[in-house]
Amino acid sequence: MSARRLALAIGAPAALLVLLGLLWSWTAAANPSVLPPLGALPAEFAARPDFYLRNLGHTLGSALSGFGIGVGAALALAIAVVHAPVLRSAVLPVALLLNVTPVVAIAPALVVAFGFTQVPNIVVAALTAFFPMLINALAGFQNVDRGSLEVFNSMAASRTDVFLRLRLPGSLRYLFAGARLSASAAMIGAIVSEFTGSTRGLGATIVTATTYLNLPQMWVAILVSALVSLTLLGIIGLVERIVVRW
Amino acid sequence: MTDAIALRGVGRTFPGKRPVAALDGIDLTVRAGEFVTLFGPSGSGKSTLLRIIAGLERADAGTVEVLGGTPREAALRKDIGWVPQNAALLPWSRVRANAGLSGLVNRRADRAPHPQRVPQDVDGMLAEVGLADFADARPGQLSGGMQQRAALARVFVQGAPLLLMDEPFSALDEITRSAVRLQLLDLWERHRKTVVFVTHSAEEAALLSDRVIVLSPRPGRIAAEIAVPIPRPRADCAADSDAVRAAEREITAALRAGASG
């Protein structure tokens, strides 16, 4: 990367952050009931780091568990659909129905079913993570170079050979794109599900802070969740750069 | 010479609201070791016929015999080498792995390879096509011509007695195309496979083939069979030599006669 591009890559987001900071400070000064002073946020986190880390751990646990389950189920289903295309017409409408059903509506129903445990949070995170990965995996597995497929078929390659040596590596960019969307969705799902019937997690922290108009606590919880989501995306991007080298 | 391919009354119609008859009543035999080119206008069913011989497409009518059995049986033995229009290299695999692809799939066929199939050493074949120094490169690092040479290496490493090539050089510029064509001639003259080659170029057909099958427009029927009596080896034969030009004129005339008649 040239020095100019590097400066642009760092300078542009930094400039935008400074601009947002100024806008925040101006809004906080004009309307203290809407935003807390920017300086209050680090002070709030530094005063109770264990409180935020404990709640982050709960949310992250739900999100990562849900991500694993949702992504795993989506990949398994996509592989099944690729090998038995007749399943496609059965699977897609159900997946679409799950996707369009609002998470906020599902969460209370899950609390009724599973009680005040972490299970509803994990289930919601899994449901939200499932669809982006399913769509990307299906697109990736089916987006095979026709010439390559002909070469494989002309040698009577088995379905396993075609999948492992052609479809899977050829779909990695799709799978990583799906993983990025699913990771964000799982974090959102976990946090939103904690709004209902949960006393732990960043979602519950936000709800409690809203109830008591504790603006610093609310915004620290929001920013921590955003930073963690960004970190997850960064990790997935890093793994992609290591794995997809062509 | 025995027949490597025997087609009897082969026809293919693509279904739909308006069914499209792509091929009709194709009778064709290709002798072992022969280089035959399918030549014809767009829509004459050249590629469909090639795909039927490869077993990638089914025929609606007639019989297809490849190397003494069905195309599927030949494919199961890895006796068919397929070269598609694009080089179809796996971008995530290095050139060496791409050239050796046949050794990685359908390994059951390698336990008792058919006597007619003689797999070649990967590095040796890469050296033959001039890619020894690029064995560890990825396809994305190669030029179009080099990619097509890697695709030739892949099919010759497989060692299949029958090579089916579907306009393999159509995406290349004229200079590169000419060089890769000579590379194919050179490889073929050293390894002597049966080749069925599809092209739109009369010059290419004249330079490469023992025999050119001219197909008429849809539905594709055999309009003419033209023997190309240019002596081999032809690797040094200039594309603009009198013999090649004469064959090219005859092929083009047969194409025009087939189209009009």
Range of the domain at B229: 3-85+164-260
The DSSP annotation for A49-96 comes to: HHHHHHHHHHHHHHHHHHHHHHHHHHHHHHHHHHH-GGGHHHHHHHHH
At B165 the three-state DSSP class reads strand
What residues in A contact B55, CB-CB < 8 Å?
153-154
Confidence bin at B113 (pLDDT 50/70/90):
confident
pLDDT of residue A159: 93
Q: A177 and A55, same structural domain?
A: yes
Length of chain A: 246
Range of the domain at A198: 39-243
User: What CATH number is associated with residue B21?
Assistant: 3.40.50.300
Nearest CB partner across the interface for A165, out of B51, B88, B105: B105
pLDDT of residue B245: 86
Q: A220 and A196, same structural domain?
A: yes
**pLDDT mean across residues, chain B:** 91
Confidence bin at B13 (pLDDT 50/70/90):
very high
Per-10-residue mean pLDDT for chain A, 246 residues long?
A: 83 92 94 91 96 97 98 96 88 86 84 89 95 95 94 96 96 97 96 90 96 95 96 97 93
For chain A positions 130-149, those within 8 Å of chain B (CB to CB) are 145-148
Contact at 8 Å (CB) between B116 and B80? no
To the nearest whole angstrom, how far is the Cα of B168 from the nearest Cα of chain A?
Answer: 11
- The pTM of this model reads 0.87
Assess whether the previous peptide bond of A120 is cis (omega < 30° from 0). no
Confidence bin at B43 (pLDDT 50/70/90):
confident
Helix (H) or strand (E) holding B112: none
pLDDT of residue B129: 93
Q: Do B78 and A155 touch (CB under 8 A)?
A: yes
Nearest CB partner across the interface for A147, out of B55, B85, B158: B85
To the nearest whole angstrom, how far is the Cα of B89 from the nearest Cα of chain A?
Answer: 7
Nearest one of A139, A138, A161, A151 to A77, comparing CA atoms: A138
To the nearest whole angstrom, how far is the Cα of B253 from the nearest Cα of chain A?
Answer: 32
Q: Do A157 and B105 touch (CB under 8 A)?
A: yes
Residue B244 lies in a domain: yes
ipTM over 0.90: yes
Chain B: residue whose CA lies nearest to A171: B92
Residue B204 lies in a domain: yes
Structure-derived torsion over alpha carbons of residues B71, B76, B81, B87, reported in degrees to the nearest 10: 110
Structure-derived torsion over alpha carbons of residues A98, A100, A101, A104, reported in degrees to the nearest 10: 120
Q: A230 and A131, same structural domain?
A: yes
Our count of domains for chain B comes to 1
Q: A166 and A62, same structural domain?
A: yes
Beta strands B35-39; B211-215: pairing state: parallel
- Residue B5 half-sphere exposure, CB side, CA atoms within 13 Å? 28
User: What CATH number is associated with residue A230?
Assistant: 1.10.3720.10
Q: A158 CB near a chain B CB, below 8 Å? A: yes
Confidence bin at B261 (pLDDT 50/70/90):
low
